[in-house]
Amino acid sequence: MNLHTRKDFEDCLLGIVNPLVSHYSRKGACLNLAGASALYEDVSIKMEGFSRVLWGLVPFWAGGGSNETFEEIYRRGLFAGTDPMSEEHWGTCHDRDQRFVEMAAIAYGILLSPDQMWHIYSAVEKNRIAAWLNQINEHEVVDNNWHFFRILVNAALKKESLPYDSRKLEEDFQRIEDFYEENGWYHDGADKQKDYYISFAFHFYGLLYAAVFPQEERSGRYKDRAMLFAEEFVYWFDNNGEALPYGRSMAYRFAQVSFFSGCLLAGIKPFSLGVMKGIIVRNLERWMEYPVFDNGGVLTVGYHYPNIHMAEHYNSPTSPYWGLKAFALLALNENDEFWQTEPEALPCQDGIHYLEGAQMMVGRKEGHVTAYVLGNKTNFSSGQIPAKYLKFAYSSLFGFSVPRSNVSLEEAAPDSSLCFVYDGMVLYRRSHGLCEYKGKEVHMVWSPMTGIEVESVIAPTDFGHIRRHVITTSLECDAYDCGFSVGNMDHHQCRWEWDQNSSMVQNTSVQCRIESRDDWEGMVITPSPNTSLYFGKTKIPAVKKHLNPGKTICETWIYESESK
């Protein structure tokens, strides 16, 4: 796929959404896709599908695109979903309702493409739609980025001179301010999560608001913050278009670049148009190369391939279509200079960079990204959280793995971790502990269980990184220091080897070698299938040692590179 003109992007979007046409309900209010369930009601899953496709269609329409099939589906669907007499009615909402999330896409349509999403209805129909949306003002929303959903709904109702809640609108604006920190970064709720969610939630919605209401003072503030944020967030992308895999909601895939599309929508340029276009084009083109669609063309739950195992409990079969936020740039009309601009390279230099607002250290080597993180202070239990936030390093070259269980090394898939086996259980870092950056090193104090205490120092180098551990244990156990997971699919031609104090796994693309500077023995772990976000099958190079009660000091060197 070669993305350059507006038509190229239109064709890409339509290629993603056209396979869905046969899956809409008779009246269009529900998108029915097969797959696993989520924590919210089935009616919300079907409504979610209806709404999330709008994140792509709305800017397509706003920029002058036309598609009679989808225009008719959404004309009938919004009518039926908000009609209490329809068998496809979306129902009555409750506190912290998933339908509040999906209302934001309808508000997006009213704000950005009213000809397709609003002007087509009579006054009576508009009032009925507004009444259904107003349920968001009658209930509690989750105290995090969800406040922006209510902001967008009330902003859309206000713009169309319909009843809205002005008090809630101002309260929500203020609560968003409470989440702001510095350098363009917000944190997402009480758990203070910082990951790419900040880019495609807080900033995207703020930039959308600024695009529609540019005269407001807060709109200027949202734009200024986005300019600051971009200076750090750009370091999450490698030269090949891959974004840093770290944190939750990886199933939204190309939502990773929705921030830069949001910047275009709001008319701001944190970088040249060529740099911004390069980031978006490389990321989208790379995603279109991966097997992320099923045999019918439906976008799957997963990351580089279909993988429900890595999903959060709020991922339904329709959830991945939130990635269509990346197509906000289609709101630019066909004469915009962006479409004639040539993509440019990233403005990032190789080396170690401390991202102050993100509180993250990022190493760039030959254009690839490795993040050395403190870990996230979170009690947010949504699926595989320790694996998504608490490994020693996260790499755009290797990805990371999530465990199936802790009953064996194979099922634990403990890449980029120090783990312990005691009484038949695999134990690893599962809480934040005490962590800080000291110069260009990460210092952490942590415990996988009572009786084992660890002090770890992670030091990036020009070949990868060095780990220094001080392990104090009152238990007899086995310890394993593990490198990155390497793809072991048939076409990878993977090979591996180990010796007295090191091990190595290499395929046609990448290589990871781990070496003990003490007396730890080399080995290779073969994880259970579908534990890696990148590859269905992997191998992990590791070194191991049997520990008796007492103190053990060790140093491990991890070498990471592309295969030559």
Segment 135-173, tens digit of pLDDT:
999 999 999 999 999 999 999 999 999 999 999 999 999
Q: Which residues contact 376 (CB under 8 A, 6 or more apart)?
A: 191, 192, 193, 194, 195, 247, 385, 389, 390, 432
What is the C-alpha to C-alpha distance for residues 99 and 170, in angstroms, rounded to an integer? 21
With a cut of 90, say whether residue 1 has pLDDT above it: no
Taking only the tens place, the pLDDT of each residue in 296-329 is 999 999 999 999 999 999 999 999 999 999 999 9
Least Cα distance to 519 among 476, 463, 474, 479 occurs for 479
Element (H, E) at 126: helix 123-133
Q: Give the pLDDT confidence score for residue 380 in this predicted structure.
A: 67
Strand partners, 555: 468
From residue 69, how far is each of 49, 125, 386 by CA, in Å?
A: 16, 21, 44
Q: Is residue 527's pLDDT more than 80?
A: yes
Give the pLDDT confidence score for residue 492 in this predicted structure: 82
Q: Is pLDDT at 175 greater than 70 in this prediction?
A: yes
Q: What is the pLDDT of residues 31-54, one digit of tens each?
A: 999 988 898 999 999 999 999 999
Burial of 7 (0-12, 13-18, 19+ CB in 10 A): exposed
What is the predicted pLDDT for the residue at 395? Answer: 97
pLDDT in tens, 235-277: 999 999 999 999 999 999 999 999 999 999 999 999 999 999 9
The secondary structure of 132-184, three-state, reads HHHHHHHCCCCCCCCHHHHHHHHHHHHHCCCCCCHHHHHHHHHHHHHHECCCC
| Per-residue confidence band for 418, with pLDDT thresholds at 50, 70 and 90 | very high
Which residue type sits at 65? G
Sheet arrangement for strand 452-460: 434-438, 441-449, 452-460, 464-473, 550-562, 510-516, 502-506, 495-498
Query: What are the b/e assignments for 494-505, b being 16+ CB within 10 Å?
Result: bebebeebbbbb
Question: Do the bridges between strand 550-562 and strand 464-473 make them parallel or antiparallel, or are there none, so unpaired?
Answer: antiparallel
Looking at residue 335, its pLDDT comes to: 95
> pLDDT band at 553, cuts 50/70/90?
very high
pLDDT of residue 431: 83
Residues 119-140: pLDDT tens digits?
A: 999 999 999 999 999 999 999 9
Residue 408 has pLDDT above 80, yes or no: yes
Q: For residue 335, what are the CA distances in angstroms to 56, 62, 269, 325?
A: 20, 14, 18, 21
Contact criterion met (CB below 8 Å) for 419 and 351: no
- Percent of the chain whose pLDDT exceeds 70: 99
Give the integer Cα–Cα distance in Å for 329 and 240. Answer: 21
- Tell whether the model's pLDDT for residue 103 goes beyond 80: yes
Over residues 343-402, the pLDDT tens digits come to 999 999 999 999 999 989 999 988 999 999 987 766 667 788 899 999 999 999 999 999
pLDDT at res. 35: 86
Query: With bands split at pLDDT 50, 70 and 90, how would you rate the model's confidence at 190?
Result: confident
Residue 62 corresponds to which amino acid?
Answer: A
Check residue 377 and give its pLDDT. 60
CA end-to-end distance (rounded Å), the chain: 26
Distance CA(362)–CA(437), nearest Å, equals 12
Round to whole Å and give the CA distance between 454 and 448.
8
Identify the three-state secondary structure at position 90: coil
404 C-beta neighbours (distance < 10 Å), count: 18
3-state secondary structure of 69: helix
Residue 193's pLDDT is what?
78
Share the mean pLDDT of the chain.
Answer: 95
Mean pLDDT of 203-222: 98
